Amino acid sequence: MLSKMLLGRYIPGSSVIHHLDPRAKIVCVVLFMIIVFFANHWTGYLLLILFVVSITKMAGLSLIFLFNGLKLILILLVFTFMMHLFFTKGGIVLIDATLFTIESAGVVQGVYITIRLAMLILITTVLTLTTSSVSLTDAIERLCRPLKTLRLPVHEIAMMMSISLRFIPTLMDETEKIIKAQSARGSTFMTGSLKSRMNALTPVFIPLFISAFKRAEELAVAMEVRGYQGEAGRTSYRVLDWQYKDTLAIITVIIFGVFLFMIRQ
Amino acid sequence: MNIQLENLVSIYHENTPFEHLALNNISAEFKENTYYGIIGHTGSGKSTLIQNLNGLLLPSYGRVRIGDITLKRKTKQRTIHRAKQRVGMVFQFPEHQLFEETVIKDVMFGPKNMGMSDEEAREKSAYYLKLLNIQESLFEKAPFDLSGGQMRKVAIAGILAMEPKMLILDEPTAGLDPLSHIETMQLFQKIQQDMGMTVILVTHDMNDVYEYTEEVKLLNKGNMIRQGKTEALLTNKVLLEQYNLEVPDIVRLTFDLERKGIQLAKTPRDRTEFIKLYREWRDAHAE
Protein backbone atom coordinates (compact mmCIF):
# COMPACT_ATOMS: atom_id res chain seq x y z
CA MET A 1 0.00 0.00 0.00
CA LEU A 2 2.75 2.42 0.97
CA SER A 3 5.24 0.82 -1.36
CA LYS A 4 4.19 2.85 -4.37
CA MET A 5 4.50 6.23 -2.67
CA LEU A 6 7.10 8.35 -4.42
CA LEU A 7 7.13 11.40 -2.19
CA GLY A 8 10.54 11.94 -0.65
CA ARG A 9 12.07 8.93 -2.31
CA TYR A 10 15.37 8.83 -4.14
CA ILE A 11 16.15 6.63 -7.13
CA PRO A 12 19.90 6.40 -7.75
CA GLY A 13 20.91 6.94 -11.35
CA SER A 14 23.54 8.48 -13.58
CA SER A 15 21.54 10.91 -15.73
CA VAL A 16 22.51 14.52 -16.39
CA ILE A 17 19.94 15.60 -13.85
CA HIS A 18 21.35 13.27 -11.20
CA HIS A 19 24.82 14.73 -11.69
CA LEU A 20 23.83 18.37 -11.33
CA ASP A 21 24.91 20.14 -8.17
CA PRO A 22 22.04 19.89 -5.66
CA ARG A 23 22.27 23.65 -5.09
CA ALA A 24 21.74 24.25 -8.79
CA LYS A 25 18.78 21.91 -8.79
CA ILE A 26 17.14 23.67 -5.87
CA VAL A 27 17.69 27.10 -7.44
CA CYS A 28 16.24 25.82 -10.72
CA VAL A 29 13.16 24.43 -8.99
CA VAL A 30 12.60 27.69 -7.11
CA LEU A 31 12.95 29.64 -10.37
CA PHE A 32 10.55 27.24 -12.07
CA MET A 33 8.02 27.81 -9.32
CA ILE A 34 8.02 31.50 -10.28
CA ILE A 35 8.07 30.81 -14.02
CA VAL A 36 4.97 28.63 -13.77
CA PHE A 37 2.97 31.75 -13.04
CA PHE A 38 4.14 33.51 -16.21
CA ALA A 39 2.07 31.21 -18.38
CA ASN A 40 -1.34 32.71 -19.07
CA HIS A 41 -2.63 31.03 -22.20
CA TRP A 42 -2.45 27.64 -23.85
CA THR A 43 0.90 28.03 -25.69
CA GLY A 44 2.54 28.91 -22.38
CA TYR A 45 1.02 25.92 -20.64
CA LEU A 46 1.97 23.65 -23.53
CA LEU A 47 5.57 24.85 -23.26
CA LEU A 48 5.51 24.24 -19.50
CA ILE A 49 4.36 20.66 -20.00
CA LEU A 50 6.95 20.14 -22.73
CA PHE A 51 9.68 21.51 -20.48
CA VAL A 52 8.77 19.29 -17.54
CA VAL A 53 8.35 16.19 -19.71
CA SER A 54 11.74 16.68 -21.32
CA ILE A 55 13.39 17.12 -17.91
CA THR A 56 11.71 13.93 -16.72
CA LYS A 57 13.06 12.13 -19.78
CA MET A 58 16.54 13.58 -19.17
CA ALA A 59 16.40 12.24 -15.62
CA GLY A 60 15.66 8.80 -17.01
CA LEU A 61 12.29 8.51 -15.28
CA SER A 62 9.26 7.03 -16.98
CA LEU A 63 6.11 9.14 -16.93
CA ILE A 64 3.89 6.13 -16.25
CA PHE A 65 5.97 5.31 -13.21
CA LEU A 66 5.70 8.90 -11.94
CA PHE A 67 1.99 8.90 -12.54
CA ASN A 68 1.50 5.67 -10.59
CA GLY A 69 3.56 6.98 -7.71
CA LEU A 70 1.63 10.22 -7.50
CA LYS A 71 -1.88 8.76 -7.64
CA LEU A 72 -2.66 10.09 -4.18
CA ILE A 73 -1.89 13.63 -5.33
CA LEU A 74 -4.44 13.16 -8.10
CA ILE A 75 -7.19 13.67 -5.51
CA LEU A 76 -5.78 17.12 -4.81
CA LEU A 77 -5.67 17.94 -8.53
CA VAL A 78 -9.22 16.78 -9.12
CA PHE A 79 -10.37 18.80 -6.13
CA THR A 80 -8.66 21.93 -7.46
CA PHE A 81 -10.23 21.41 -10.85
CA MET A 82 -13.70 20.97 -9.35
CA MET A 83 -13.38 24.10 -7.26
CA HIS A 84 -12.63 26.17 -10.35
CA LEU A 85 -15.24 24.38 -12.39
CA PHE A 86 -18.02 25.30 -10.00
CA PHE A 87 -16.93 28.62 -8.59
CA THR A 88 -15.18 30.52 -11.37
CA LYS A 89 -17.77 32.46 -13.35
CA GLY A 90 -17.61 34.09 -16.75
CA GLY A 91 -17.89 33.25 -20.43
CA ILE A 92 -20.62 31.11 -21.89
CA VAL A 93 -22.91 29.10 -19.63
CA LEU A 94 -22.29 25.45 -20.48
CA ILE A 95 -24.50 23.63 -18.01
CA ASP A 96 -27.29 25.30 -16.09
CA ALA A 97 -28.61 23.02 -13.41
CA THR A 98 -30.74 24.25 -10.53
CA LEU A 99 -28.02 23.77 -7.93
CA PHE A 100 -25.00 24.92 -9.93
CA THR A 101 -23.91 26.37 -13.21
CA ILE A 102 -20.77 25.57 -15.11
CA GLU A 103 -19.38 28.35 -17.25
CA SER A 104 -16.65 28.22 -19.86
CA ALA A 105 -14.24 30.43 -17.88
CA GLY A 106 -14.45 27.92 -15.05
CA VAL A 107 -13.43 25.05 -17.31
CA VAL A 108 -10.52 27.01 -18.81
CA GLN A 109 -9.33 28.31 -15.45
CA GLY A 110 -9.71 24.83 -13.93
CA VAL A 111 -7.56 23.25 -16.62
CA TYR A 112 -4.88 25.95 -16.35
CA ILE A 113 -4.58 25.89 -12.58
CA THR A 114 -4.55 22.09 -12.53
CA ILE A 115 -1.72 22.07 -15.08
CA ARG A 116 0.22 24.59 -12.97
CA LEU A 117 -0.17 22.50 -9.84
CA ALA A 118 0.64 19.25 -11.64
CA MET A 119 3.80 20.73 -13.15
CA LEU A 120 4.92 22.05 -9.76
CA ILE A 121 4.40 18.65 -8.17
CA LEU A 122 6.14 16.87 -11.03
CA ILE A 123 9.21 19.09 -11.02
CA THR A 124 9.66 18.87 -7.25
CA THR A 125 9.20 15.09 -7.43
CA VAL A 126 11.91 14.93 -10.09
CA LEU A 127 14.12 16.93 -7.72
CA THR A 128 13.67 14.52 -4.81
CA LEU A 129 13.81 11.44 -7.02
CA THR A 130 17.17 12.44 -8.47
CA THR A 131 18.79 13.94 -5.36
CA SER A 132 19.66 11.96 -2.27
CA SER A 133 18.33 13.44 0.95
CA VAL A 134 21.87 13.95 2.25
CA SER A 135 22.95 16.14 -0.64
CA LEU A 136 19.62 17.91 -0.56
CA THR A 137 20.12 19.04 3.02
CA ASP A 138 23.77 19.83 2.36
CA ALA A 139 22.62 22.12 -0.41
CA ILE A 140 19.97 23.75 1.76
CA GLU A 141 22.51 24.36 4.48
CA ARG A 142 24.87 26.01 2.02
CA LEU A 143 22.16 28.07 0.37
CA CYS A 144 20.87 29.28 3.73
CA ARG A 145 24.28 30.15 5.10
CA PRO A 146 23.78 33.93 4.64
CA LEU A 147 20.88 33.71 7.09
CA LYS A 148 23.36 32.95 9.84
CA THR A 149 24.10 36.62 10.14
CA LEU A 150 20.51 36.91 11.38
CA ARG A 151 21.42 34.43 14.16
CA LEU A 152 19.38 31.70 12.57
CA PRO A 153 20.71 28.23 13.58
CA VAL A 154 21.11 27.14 9.96
CA HIS A 155 23.25 24.09 10.69
CA GLU A 156 20.89 22.78 13.36
CA ILE A 157 17.88 23.25 11.13
CA ALA A 158 19.64 21.39 8.32
CA MET A 159 20.60 18.61 10.71
CA MET A 160 17.00 18.32 11.88
CA MET A 161 15.87 18.16 8.29
CA SER A 162 18.34 15.48 7.33
CA ILE A 163 17.43 13.42 10.38
CA SER A 164 13.73 13.61 9.61
CA LEU A 165 14.31 12.78 5.97
CA ARG A 166 16.56 9.91 6.98
CA PHE A 167 13.82 8.43 9.16
CA ILE A 168 10.95 8.70 6.69
CA PRO A 169 11.72 5.29 5.11
CA THR A 170 12.40 3.77 8.53
CA LEU A 171 9.06 4.95 9.86
CA MET A 172 7.35 3.83 6.64
CA ASP A 173 8.78 0.35 7.09
CA GLU A 174 7.77 0.37 10.72
CA THR A 175 4.25 1.48 9.84
CA GLU A 176 3.96 -1.27 7.29
CA LYS A 177 5.16 -3.85 9.80
CA ILE A 178 2.70 -2.71 12.47
CA ILE A 179 -0.15 -2.58 9.96
CA LYS A 180 0.69 -6.15 9.03
CA ALA A 181 0.91 -7.30 12.64
CA GLN A 182 -2.45 -5.71 13.47
CA SER A 183 -4.16 -6.94 10.35
CA ALA A 184 -2.91 -10.44 11.18
CA ARG A 185 -4.95 -9.93 14.35
CA GLY A 186 -7.98 -9.21 12.23
CA SER A 187 -7.87 -5.43 12.16
CA THR A 188 -9.46 -4.12 8.96
CA PHE A 189 -8.19 -1.01 7.27
CA MET A 190 -9.68 -1.53 3.84
CA THR A 191 -13.29 -2.30 4.66
CA GLY A 192 -16.04 -0.99 6.89
CA SER A 193 -17.41 2.47 7.53
CA LEU A 194 -15.23 5.56 7.74
CA LYS A 195 -15.56 5.47 11.52
CA SER A 196 -14.42 1.89 11.84
CA ARG A 197 -11.50 2.61 9.54
CA MET A 198 -10.52 5.57 11.69
CA ASN A 199 -10.72 3.36 14.77
CA ALA A 200 -8.49 0.83 13.06
CA LEU A 201 -5.73 3.45 13.02
CA THR A 202 -5.35 3.64 16.82
CA PRO A 203 -3.65 0.22 17.04
CA VAL A 204 -1.21 1.45 14.40
CA PHE A 205 -0.40 4.91 15.70
CA ILE A 206 0.17 4.09 19.36
CA PRO A 207 2.89 1.49 18.72
CA LEU A 208 4.33 3.75 16.02
CA PHE A 209 4.64 6.74 18.36
CA ILE A 210 6.14 4.61 21.10
CA SER A 211 8.82 3.28 18.81
CA ALA A 212 9.47 6.72 17.28
CA PHE A 213 10.07 8.25 20.70
CA LYS A 214 12.33 5.38 21.69
CA ARG A 215 14.28 5.74 18.47
CA ALA A 216 14.63 9.49 18.94
CA GLU A 217 16.04 9.04 22.41
CA GLU A 218 18.47 6.35 21.28
CA LEU A 219 19.62 8.54 18.41
CA ALA A 220 20.17 11.51 20.72
CA VAL A 221 22.29 9.40 23.05
CA ALA A 222 24.22 7.88 20.15
CA MET A 223 24.98 11.36 18.79
CA GLU A 224 26.06 12.63 22.17
CA VAL A 225 28.44 9.77 22.92
CA ARG A 226 30.11 10.47 19.61
CA GLY A 227 30.71 14.03 20.72
CA TYR A 228 28.17 15.90 18.63
CA GLN A 229 27.66 19.43 19.90
CA GLY A 230 26.13 21.33 17.06
CA GLU A 231 28.09 23.06 14.38
CA ALA A 232 31.14 23.94 16.48
CA GLY A 233 34.27 22.67 14.77
CA ARG A 234 32.55 20.47 12.20
CA THR A 235 33.95 20.06 8.74
CA SER A 236 32.18 18.46 5.84
CA TYR A 237 33.04 15.10 4.36
CA ARG A 238 31.06 15.70 1.21
CA VAL A 239 32.18 18.75 -0.69
CA LEU A 240 29.77 20.30 -3.15
CA ASP A 241 31.45 21.03 -6.46
CA TRP A 242 29.92 23.74 -8.63
CA GLN A 243 30.62 23.22 -12.34
CA TYR A 244 29.88 24.92 -15.66
CA LYS A 245 26.92 22.68 -16.32
CA ASP A 246 25.28 23.87 -13.09
CA THR A 247 25.52 27.49 -14.18
CA LEU A 248 24.30 26.42 -17.59
CA ALA A 249 21.26 24.69 -16.06
CA ILE A 250 20.26 27.83 -14.20
CA ILE A 251 20.78 30.00 -17.29
CA THR A 252 18.62 27.60 -19.34
CA VAL A 253 15.79 27.88 -16.84
CA ILE A 254 16.09 31.69 -16.80
CA ILE A 255 16.03 31.84 -20.60
CA PHE A 256 12.98 29.61 -20.62
CA GLY A 257 11.37 31.92 -18.09
CA VAL A 258 12.14 35.04 -20.10
CA PHE A 259 10.80 33.41 -23.25
CA LEU A 260 7.61 32.42 -21.48
CA PHE A 261 7.26 35.97 -20.16
CA MET A 262 7.66 37.43 -23.66
CA ILE A 263 4.92 35.28 -25.21
CA ARG A 264 2.48 36.31 -22.51
CA GLN A 265 -0.75 37.81 -23.75
CA MET B 1 -6.69 -28.41 7.79
CA ASN B 2 -3.84 -28.37 5.30
CA ILE B 3 -2.27 -25.48 3.47
CA GLN B 4 -1.33 -25.97 -0.13
CA LEU B 5 0.72 -23.65 -2.27
CA GLU B 6 0.22 -24.11 -5.98
CA ASN B 7 2.73 -22.49 -8.32
CA LEU B 8 2.94 -19.46 -6.08
CA VAL B 9 4.70 -16.46 -7.60
CA SER B 10 5.17 -13.28 -5.61
CA ILE B 11 6.43 -10.09 -7.20
CA TYR B 12 7.01 -6.87 -5.27
CA HIS B 13 6.40 -3.48 -6.89
CA GLU B 14 5.22 -5.02 -10.12
CA ASN B 15 5.72 -2.67 -13.11
CA THR B 16 8.01 -0.20 -11.35
CA PRO B 17 11.81 0.20 -11.45
CA PHE B 18 11.84 -1.52 -8.04
CA GLU B 19 10.24 -4.69 -9.42
CA HIS B 20 11.53 -7.71 -7.58
CA LEU B 21 10.67 -11.38 -7.89
CA ALA B 22 10.47 -12.61 -4.30
CA LEU B 23 9.02 -16.07 -4.84
CA ASN B 24 9.39 -18.06 -8.00
CA ASN B 25 6.85 -20.77 -8.69
CA ILE B 26 6.63 -22.38 -5.27
CA SER B 27 4.57 -25.50 -4.70
CA ALA B 28 4.46 -26.93 -1.21
CA GLU B 29 2.18 -28.40 1.40
CA PHE B 30 1.83 -27.85 5.14
CA LYS B 31 0.04 -30.76 6.82
CA GLU B 32 -2.00 -30.86 9.99
CA ASN B 33 -0.39 -31.32 13.39
CA THR B 34 3.19 -30.96 12.19
CA TYR B 35 6.03 -28.70 13.28
CA TYR B 36 7.64 -27.11 10.23
CA GLY B 37 10.79 -25.09 9.85
CA ILE B 38 11.42 -22.69 6.97
CA ILE B 39 15.09 -21.94 6.48
CA GLY B 40 17.11 -19.91 4.05
CA HIS B 41 19.64 -17.12 3.90
CA THR B 42 18.54 -13.47 4.28
CA GLY B 43 16.54 -12.46 1.21
CA SER B 44 15.58 -16.02 0.35
CA GLY B 45 11.88 -15.21 0.47
CA LYS B 46 10.99 -16.70 3.85
CA SER B 47 9.04 -13.66 5.05
CA THR B 48 7.23 -13.30 1.75
CA LEU B 49 6.27 -16.96 1.87
CA ILE B 50 4.73 -16.83 5.33
CA GLN B 51 2.85 -13.63 4.55
CA ASN B 52 1.24 -15.47 1.68
CA LEU B 53 0.00 -18.15 4.07
CA ASN B 54 -2.56 -15.94 5.82
CA GLY B 55 -3.46 -13.38 3.21
CA LEU B 56 -1.20 -10.54 4.34
CA LEU B 57 0.15 -10.76 0.83
CA LEU B 58 -1.81 -12.15 -2.06
CA PRO B 59 -0.10 -14.24 -4.71
CA SER B 60 0.89 -12.40 -7.89
CA TYR B 61 0.25 -15.66 -9.71
CA GLY B 62 -0.76 -19.13 -8.55
CA ARG B 63 -2.83 -19.83 -5.46
CA VAL B 64 -2.80 -20.67 -1.78
CA ARG B 65 -5.37 -23.10 -0.40
CA ILE B 66 -6.08 -22.92 3.33
CA GLY B 67 -8.53 -25.72 3.95
CA ASP B 68 -11.54 -24.70 1.86
CA ILE B 69 -10.39 -21.10 1.44
CA THR B 70 -8.54 -20.22 -1.73
CA LEU B 71 -6.40 -17.10 -1.91
CA LYS B 72 -5.62 -15.73 -5.36
CA ARG B 73 -4.47 -12.48 -6.91
CA LYS B 74 -7.84 -10.84 -6.44
CA THR B 75 -9.47 -12.41 -3.41
CA LYS B 76 -12.11 -10.41 -1.52
CA GLN B 77 -11.28 -8.86 1.87
CA ARG B 78 -13.92 -10.95 3.61
CA THR B 79 -12.29 -14.19 2.52
CA ILE B 80 -8.86 -12.89 3.54
CA HIS B 81 -10.30 -12.04 6.95
CA ARG B 82 -11.33 -15.67 7.44
CA ALA B 83 -7.87 -16.84 6.42
CA LYS B 84 -6.36 -14.64 9.13
CA GLN B 85 -8.46 -16.32 11.79
CA ARG B 86 -7.26 -19.75 10.69
CA VAL B 87 -3.61 -18.90 10.44
CA GLY B 88 -2.18 -16.93 13.35
CA MET B 89 1.04 -15.04 12.84
CA VAL B 90 3.53 -14.07 15.53
CA PHE B 91 5.83 -11.45 14.03
CA GLN B 92 9.38 -10.66 14.96
CA PHE B 93 9.31 -8.53 18.14
CA PRO B 94 5.57 -9.04 18.61
CA GLU B 95 5.63 -6.78 21.69
CA HIS B 96 5.85 -3.82 19.29
CA GLN B 97 2.21 -4.33 18.36
CA LEU B 98 0.80 -3.76 21.87
CA PHE B 99 -1.37 -0.66 22.12
CA GLU B 100 -4.28 -1.08 24.54
CA GLU B 101 -4.66 0.39 28.02
CA THR B 102 -4.64 -2.96 29.77
CA VAL B 103 -3.09 -6.34 29.15
CA ILE B 104 -6.39 -8.18 28.90
CA LYS B 105 -7.89 -5.63 26.49
CA ASP B 106 -4.90 -6.00 24.22
CA VAL B 107 -5.23 -9.76 24.11
CA MET B 108 -8.97 -9.42 23.43
CA PHE B 109 -8.34 -7.25 20.37
CA GLY B 110 -7.78 -10.19 18.00
CA PRO B 111 -10.64 -12.42 19.17
CA LYS B 112 -13.06 -9.48 19.05
CA ASN B 113 -11.99 -8.63 15.52
CA MET B 114 -12.85 -12.21 14.67
CA GLY B 115 -16.39 -11.67 15.87
CA MET B 116 -16.27 -13.13 19.38
CA SER B 117 -18.46 -11.52 22.04
CA ASP B 118 -16.84 -9.52 24.86
CA GLU B 119 -17.31 -12.29 27.43
CA GLU B 120 -16.07 -15.04 25.16
CA ALA B 121 -13.03 -12.98 24.16
CA ARG B 122 -12.27 -12.20 27.80
CA GLU B 123 -12.57 -15.86 28.77
CA LYS B 124 -10.28 -16.99 25.95
CA SER B 125 -7.79 -14.23 26.67
CA ALA B 126 -7.60 -15.06 30.35
CA TYR B 127 -7.10 -18.72 29.51
CA TYR B 128 -4.20 -18.12 27.14
CA LEU B 129 -2.58 -15.50 29.35
CA LYS B 130 -2.53 -18.01 32.20
CA LEU B 131 -1.20 -20.67 29.85
CA LEU B 132 1.73 -18.36 29.16
CA ASN B 133 2.32 -17.76 32.87
CA ILE B 134 0.92 -14.24 33.06
CA GLN B 135 -0.73 -13.95 36.47
CA GLU B 136 -4.21 -12.59 36.85
CA SER B 137 -2.87 -9.66 38.90
CA LEU B 138 -1.23 -8.32 35.75
CA PHE B 139 -4.38 -8.42 33.59
CA GLU B 140 -5.47 -4.88 34.41
CA LYS B 141 -2.00 -3.34 34.15
CA ALA B 142 -0.81 -1.31 31.19
CA PRO B 143 1.15 -3.60 28.86
CA PHE B 144 3.97 -1.05 28.67
CA ASP B 145 4.65 -1.46 32.42
CA LEU B 146 5.60 -5.12 31.99
CA SER B 147 9.07 -6.47 31.39
CA GLY B 148 10.20 -7.21 27.83
CA GLY B 149 9.70 -10.96 28.24
CA GLN B 150 6.23 -10.53 29.69
CA MET B 151 5.26 -8.10 26.93
CA ARG B 152 6.24 -10.68 24.36
CA LYS B 153 4.14 -13.32 26.12
CA VAL B 154 1.13 -10.99 26.16
CA ALA B 155 1.56 -10.37 22.45
CA ILE B 156 1.77 -14.11 21.77
CA ALA B 157 -1.33 -14.70 23.89
CA GLY B 158 -3.05 -12.12 21.68
CA ILE B 159 -2.51 -14.39 18.70
CA LEU B 160 -3.33 -17.65 20.47
CA ALA B 161 -6.61 -16.23 21.83
CA MET B 162 -7.87 -16.04 18.25
CA GLU B 163 -7.62 -19.84 18.33
CA PRO B 164 -5.98 -20.29 14.96
CA LYS B 165 -5.54 -23.76 13.54
CA MET B 166 -2.07 -22.96 12.40
CA LEU B 167 0.58 -20.78 13.96
CA ILE B 168 3.41 -19.04 12.12
CA LEU B 169 6.39 -17.86 14.15
CA ASP B 170 8.74 -15.33 12.57
CA GLU B 171 11.98 -15.29 14.58
CA PRO B 172 10.07 -15.64 17.85
CA THR B 173 13.18 -15.60 20.02
CA ALA B 174 14.98 -12.58 18.53
CA GLY B 175 16.41 -10.43 21.30
CA LEU B 176 15.56 -12.80 24.16
CA ASP B 177 18.06 -13.88 26.82
CA PRO B 178 19.19 -17.54 26.67
CA LEU B 179 16.82 -18.68 29.40
CA SER B 180 13.72 -17.02 27.93
CA HIS B 181 14.81 -18.36 24.57
CA ILE B 182 14.60 -21.97 25.77
CA GLU B 183 11.38 -21.24 27.70
CA THR B 184 9.69 -19.73 24.65
CA MET B 185 10.72 -22.51 22.31
CA GLN B 186 9.55 -25.18 24.76
CA LEU B 187 6.29 -23.35 25.18
CA PHE B 188 5.63 -23.41 21.44
CA GLN B 189 6.52 -27.09 21.35
CA LYS B 190 4.04 -27.75 24.15
CA ILE B 191 1.31 -25.77 22.37
CA GLN B 192 2.01 -27.67 19.19
CA GLN B 193 1.76 -31.05 20.88
CA ASP B 194 -1.12 -30.32 23.27
CA MET B 195 -3.37 -28.64 20.76
CA GLY B 196 -2.31 -30.66 17.74
CA MET B 197 -1.61 -27.42 15.95
CA THR B 198 0.52 -26.94 12.88
CA VAL B 199 3.41 -24.65 13.71
CA ILE B 200 5.68 -23.05 11.14
CA LEU B 201 8.94 -21.70 12.51
CA VAL B 202 10.96 -19.20 10.50
CA THR B 203 14.37 -18.57 11.97
CA HIS B 204 18.08 -18.26 11.38
CA ASP B 205 18.77 -20.36 14.45
CA MET B 206 19.55 -23.79 13.03
CA ASN B 207 19.80 -25.28 16.52
CA ASP B 208 16.14 -24.49 17.17
CA VAL B 209 15.09 -25.80 13.78
CA TYR B 210 17.01 -29.01 14.39
CA GLU B 211 15.74 -29.52 17.91
CA TYR B 212 12.06 -28.68 17.55
CA THR B 213 10.83 -29.12 13.97
CA GLU B 214 9.79 -32.27 12.17
CA GLU B 215 9.92 -31.07 8.58
CA VAL B 216 12.01 -28.42 6.89
CA LYS B 217 11.62 -26.34 3.75
CA LEU B 218 14.77 -24.78 2.35
CA LEU B 219 14.44 -21.60 0.30
CA ASN B 220 17.07 -19.77 -1.69
CA LYS B 221 16.58 -16.61 -3.77
CA GLY B 222 12.85 -17.23 -4.02
CA ASN B 223 13.13 -20.83 -5.08
CA MET B 224 12.14 -23.89 -3.10
CA ILE B 225 15.35 -25.89 -2.99
CA ARG B 226 14.49 -28.83 -0.80
CA GLN B 227 11.62 -30.09 1.40
CA GLY B 228 11.90 -33.02 3.73
CA LYS B 229 12.47 -34.46 7.17
CA THR B 230 14.49 -32.27 9.53
CA GLU B 231 16.98 -34.96 10.45
CA ALA B 232 17.71 -35.63 6.81
CA LEU B 233 18.16 -32.02 5.70
CA LEU B 234 19.94 -30.55 8.70
CA THR B 235 22.56 -33.28 8.87
CA ASN B 236 23.43 -32.67 5.22
CA LYS B 237 26.52 -30.52 5.75
CA VAL B 238 27.25 -30.05 2.04
CA LEU B 239 23.72 -28.84 1.32
CA LEU B 240 23.66 -26.40 4.25
CA GLU B 241 27.04 -24.93 3.42
CA GLN B 242 26.08 -24.55 -0.21
CA TYR B 243 23.26 -22.22 0.85
CA ASN B 244 25.24 -20.36 3.51
CA LEU B 245 23.41 -21.93 6.42
CA GLU B 246 25.00 -23.05 9.64
CA VAL B 247 25.20 -26.67 10.62
CA PRO B 248 23.42 -27.23 13.98
CA ASP B 249 25.88 -27.42 16.90
CA ILE B 250 24.96 -30.98 17.87
CA VAL B 251 25.35 -32.20 14.29
CA ARG B 252 28.73 -30.50 14.01
CA LEU B 253 29.85 -31.96 17.32
CA THR B 254 28.81 -35.44 16.22
CA PHE B 255 30.75 -35.04 12.99
CA ASP B 256 33.82 -33.77 14.86
CA LEU B 257 33.67 -36.70 17.25
CA GLU B 258 33.36 -39.06 14.34
CA ARG B 259 36.60 -37.70 12.92
CA LYS B 260 38.26 -38.42 16.26
CA GLY B 261 37.03 -41.99 16.13
CA ILE B 262 33.97 -41.71 18.34
CA GLN B 263 31.13 -43.10 16.24
CA LEU B 264 27.69 -42.58 17.82
CA ALA B 265 24.88 -44.95 16.82
CA LYS B 266 23.07 -42.10 15.03
CA THR B 267 23.03 -38.32 14.95
CA PRO B 268 21.28 -37.17 18.14
CA ARG B 269 18.47 -34.55 18.04
CA ASP B 270 19.08 -32.84 21.39
CA ARG B 271 21.38 -32.72 24.41
CA THR B 272 19.72 -35.53 26.31
CA GLU B 273 19.84 -37.83 23.35
CA PHE B 274 23.43 -36.84 22.72
CA ILE B 275 24.46 -37.73 26.27
CA LYS B 276 22.56 -41.01 26.08
CA LEU B 277 24.21 -42.03 22.82
CA TYR B 278 27.61 -40.98 24.07
CA ARG B 279 27.18 -43.10 27.21
CA GLU B 280 26.17 -46.06 25.07
CA TRP B 281 29.29 -45.62 22.99
CA ARG B 282 31.47 -45.41 26.12
CA ASP B 283 29.87 -48.51 27.61
CA ALA B 284 30.44 -50.39 24.38
CA HIS B 285 34.07 -49.30 24.27
CA ALA B 286 34.83 -49.61 27.99
CA GLU B 287 37.86 -51.64 28.76
Question: A174 lies in which domain range?
Answer: 147-225
Q: Does B51 touch chain A (CB under 8 A)?
A: yes
CB pairs under 8 A between A and B: 68
Structure confidence at residue A6 (pLDDT):
67
Structure confidence at residue B176 (pLDDT):
86
Judge whether A154 and A162 are in contact, CB under 8 Å: no
Mutate to test the interface with B, among A18, A185, A191 (most CBs of B within 10 A): A185
Same domain, A112 and A208: no
Percentage of residues of chain A with pLDDT beyond 90: 41
Structure confidence at residue A8 (pLDDT):
66
**DSSP H or E stretch at residue A93:** strand A93-96
Contacts of B88 in chain A (CB under 8 A): 184
- The answer, yes or no, to whether residue A1 has pLDDT greater than 50, is no
**Could you tell me the pLDDT band of residue A2, with boundaries at 50, 70 and 90?**
very low
> What mean pLDDT comes out for the span B90-119?
92
pLDDT digits (tens, 9 = 90+) for B210-266: 999 999 999 999 999 999 999 999 999 999 999 999 999 999 999 999 999 888 888
**DSSP H or E stretch at residue B86:** helix B77-86
Asked if the structure places residue B175 within a domain, the reply is yes
**Could you tell me the pLDDT band of residue B112, with boundaries at 50, 70 and 90?**
very high
Judge whether B35 and B199 are in contact, CB under 8 Å: yes
Instruction: Say yes or no for a CB contact (<8 Å) between A203 and B162.
Output: no
Asked if the structure places residue B122 within a domain, the reply is no
Structure confidence at residue A133 (pLDDT):
81
Asked if the structure places residue B201 within a domain, the reply is yes
Same domain, B31 and B51: yes
Q: How many domains does chain B have?
A: 2
pLDDT digits (tens, 9 = 90+) for A136-167: 888 988 898 888 889 888 888 888 888 887 88
- Closest chain B CA to residue A6: B16
* Cβ-based neighbour number of residue B52 at 10 Å: 25
Judge whether B86 and B67 are in contact, CB under 8 Å: yes
- End position of a domain, from candidates B215, B236, B257: B236
- The answer, yes or no, to whether residue B45 has pLDDT greater than 70, is yes
Q: How many domains does chain A have?
A: 2
Asked if the structure places residue B137 within a domain, the reply is no
Same domain, B13 and B82: yes
Pick from A3, A186, A190: which is nearest to B13 by CB?
Answer: A3
What single string gives the DSSP state of each residue in B129-184? HHHTT--GGGTTS-GGGS-HHHHHHHHHHHHHTT--SEEEEESTTTT--HHHHHHH
Same domain, A74 and A158: no
- The answer, yes or no, to whether residue A234 has pLDDT greater than 80, is no
pLDDT digits (tens, 9 = 90+) for B172-199: 988 888 988 998 899 999 989 988 899 9
CATH of the domain at B62: 3.40.50.300
Asked if the structure places residue A151 within a domain, the reply is yes
N-term to C-term CA, chain A: 45
Structure confidence at residue A106 (pLDDT):
87
Query: Taking the complete model, does pTM exceed 0.90, yes or no?
Result: no
Asked if the structure places residue B142 within a domain, the reply is no
pLDDT digits (tens, 9 = 90+) for A4-27: 566 667 888 889 999 999 999 999
* Strand, helix or coil for residue A142: helix
Higher pLDDT, A97 or A131: A131
Pick from B13, B56, B159: which is nearest to A180 by CB?
Answer: B56
Asked if the structure places residue A2 within a domain, the reply is no
How far is the C-alpha of B59 from the C-alpha of B21, rounded, in Å?
12
Mutate to test the interface with A, among B47, B56, B97, B167 (most CBs of A within 10 A): B97
Structure confidence at residue B17 (pLDDT):
72
Structure confidence at residue A229 (pLDDT):
83
Question: B257 lies in which domain range?
Answer: 248-287
- End position of a domain, from candidates B214, B236, B258: B236
The residue type found at A175 is T
- The answer, yes or no, to whether residue B287 has pLDDT greater than 70, is no
Q: Which residues of chain A approach chain B closer than 8 Å at the C-beta?
A: 3-4, 11, 62, 65, 68-69, 177-178, 180-188, 190-191, 202-203, 206-207, 210-211
| Strand-by-strand arrangement of the B3-12 sheet | B20-30, B3-12, B61-66, B69-71
Same domain, A246 and A125: yes
Asked if the structure places residue B146 within a domain, the reply is no
Contacts of A130 in chain B (CB under 8 A): none
Same domain, B71 and B96: yes
